[in-house]
Amino acid sequence: MKYLCTLLIVTISCVLDATEFRLATFSADVTIPLNHRCMGVIPTKSKRVADPLLAHGFVLSDGKQTVVLCALDWCEVRNGAFDQWREALAKAAGTVRENVLVTALHQHDAPVIDRDAATILAAAGLTDELYHVAWHDKTLARVSQAVRDSLELATPVTHFGISETPVLQIASNRRVVLENGTVSYGRGSRSGGNKYFAAAPEGDIDSMLKTITFFNNDKPLLQMHHYATHPMSYYGQGVVSADFVGLARARLQRQDQSIRQIFVPGCAGDITAGKFNNGSEGHRQELIDRLYQAMAKAADNTKRYQLQQLNIRNTKLQLPFHPGDHLTVKRLEADIANEKLSVEKRILAAMGLASRRRVASGQAIDFPCVDLGAAQILLFPGESFIGYQLMAQAAAKNKFVMCLAYGESWPGYIPTAAIFAENFKDSWLWVGPGSEKAIRQAIADVLRK
């Protein structure tokens, strides 16, 4: 009897140890064509390509569950287009769309993709003004094929590592207290030319670059780097670029082609490089250097763990639509139809109407958590402010939590309750007060085992 019990224990142990995790990595070119709009509403369309826009990602599976992560060098993916991307990549990888994390790095010389807004605009005679639909659909098909092709080259993954590296002189908070005591959120990406904004403190930021590395025994396969900042040094002149985050990633990738390098954005709705950047080419190069140096150091302090679990949890997040009079259905429809308004203002109205309809339909935002044990990956919607990233880290206590943002991006900016209380206003704001309560609960739901 003792022999049988021992045999049973050994057999069960072998079955548990037999779980094989496999990792596939993919990339594809997603560069917009010339004469394509950037950031959805910038008047100057693309004139030339300085460097390509890319999609980088991975497929991780334990044989039962499969998760896909795709990071796009785009500004945003919203509404029906967000569904479209997750469904296509889920089909390519053989999983469900709830297990697909799509994030945009939020470069501004890059497209905003919103299928529902594009449909509204087409009906108003503004076909392809937000984005070129045929080009987009071909691009999605190309990325989906890259996912399918990657599965044939999937590699066993046995371990993962986590590290944190301080980043110096990139991030600063938009919030600045002016000399008269009033609060301004005007420190944008290129505010370093303003002496007051350059001298003001960094404010609330997360100064740490977080990195997750996947290994096959001792061989590193992929590094995913995470940092919270708007990724722009300068933009708006029709020169397409992945900007300093993409250029730093590319420099690191060139050093070793055997390790896939992915960059993912943190909750940076209110975080820019504005304290340290005046929009010059010299400052762009400095930002590239600083981020590259932090990413290159990630391997020096990586703590390794055996990969033993792949748990995916998801909760539904309902955010309130902004109650402003400028965002009523009547006002938005009138603005879209008003040919005297600029095309950019009509596009903004269509984006608002598409989002308002989505909220009215009751469709919630998926709020996923990929739990590897010693590390957790969350995907926040839109331009979530840094307070939410800090909130999640506090809720996770001593665990390593990587807070991606710019998932479903219809909300635009998502301020915390304290920032709403300071009367934060912006044309890129489609959610209302009450957002923090909903997100705080979502964080608790997915982090709770």
Is residue 285 domain-resident? yes
Is residue 1 domain-resident? no
Residue 146 has pLDDT above 50, yes or no: yes
> How many domains is the chain partitioned into structurally?
1
Which tokens sit at 232? Answer: 């722009």
Q: What pLDDT was estimated at residue 1?
A: 44
Q: How many CB atoms lie within 10 A of CB 212?
A: 24
Is residue 336 domain-resident? no
pTM beyond 0.85: the answer is yes
Q: What pLDDT was estimated at residue 9?
A: 35
Is residue 418 domain-resident? yes
Q: What pLDDT was estimated at residue 18?
A: 57
pLDDT tens digit sequence for 64-75: 999 999 999 999
Task: Provide, rounded to the nearest whole percent, the portion of the chain with pLDDT above 90.
Answer: 94
**Which residue range is the domain that position 46 belongs to?**
22-323+349-447
Q: What pLDDT was estimated at residue 11?
A: 33
pLDDT tens digit sequence for 356-381: 999 999 999 999 999 999 999 999 99
Which tokens sit at 392? Answer: 């999640």
Is residue 6 domain-resident? no
pLDDT tens digit sequence for 391-412: 999 999 878 999 999 999 999 9
- Closest of 241, 87, 221 to residue 158, by C-alpha: 221
Is residue 209 domain-resident? yes
CA dist 163 to 75, 190, 397, 398, Å?
A: 27, 30, 16, 14
Confidence of residue 448 (pLDDT cuts 50, 70, 90): confident
Is residue 4 domain-resident? no
Residue 449 has pLDDT above 90, yes or no: no
Is residue 48 domain-resident? yes
Question: Which string of b and e fits 434-448 if b means at least 16 CB within 10 Å?
Answer: ebbebbbebbeebbe
Find the distance separating the first CA and the last CA of the chain, reported in whole Å: 37
Residue 7 has pLDDT above 90, yes or no: no
Q: How many CB atoms lie within 10 A of CB 181?
A: 6
